[in-house]
Amino acid sequence: MRGTVTITSVYCNAKGGCERHGSFTAAGTQRTTDRVELVGVNGSVGRRVVVYQEGTDSTRVYGTGWRALTEAGLDVLLGLVGLAVAADIALPRLPRRRAGRSGSRGRHARY
């Protein structure tokens, strides 16, 4: 769903990343959601930007353009890596077959 966000706060951490939050208004409606997180959007407090709200997560909105696409893609990639790690930890490992030993008499061994 397309809409606009007015940036209401910017929090920057020591690592160089900044989180932006704002008030989202859906296009063509008066429905407003306060305190949404902006992904792929730069700007200072008070700036209005066009964004998209995707899926059922009403607390995140995504900017337009390459920066937003890249950041959203990295979010998906990190989520997939997290799932792979969780599955690796949670699922039991299957036992490995040992290679045949020299001198063992298997089914096709010559006598």
Is 109 contained in some domain? no
Burial 79-98 (b: 16+ CB within 10 A, else e): eeeeeeeeeeeeeeeeeeee
**Residue 48 is part of which domain span?**
2-89
Predicted TM-score (pTM) of the model is: 0.53
Measure the CA–CA gap between 61 and 23, rounded to whole angstroms.
Answer: 10
Is 62 contained in some domain? yes
Q: Residue 22 above 60 pLDDT?
A: yes
Is 83 contained in some domain? yes
Is 111 contained in some domain? no
The H-or-E segment that residue 47 falls in is none
Counting residues of the chain whose pLDDT is more than 90, the rounded percentage is: 8
Is 101 contained in some domain? no
Measure the CA–CA gap between 111 and 48, rounded to whole angstroms.
Answer: 84
Environment class of 18 (CB within 10 Å of its CB; exposed 0-12, middle 13-18, buried 19+): exposed
Is 94 contained in some domain? no
Q: Residue 30 above 60 pLDDT?
A: yes
Is 42 contained in some domain? yes
Q: Per residue in 81-102, pLDDT tens?
A: 888 888 777 777 666 666 655 5
Q: Who contacts 6 (Cβ-Cβ below 8 Å, separation ≥6)? A: 22, 23, 25, 46, 47, 48
Number of compact structural domains in the chain? 1
Is 60 contained in some domain? yes
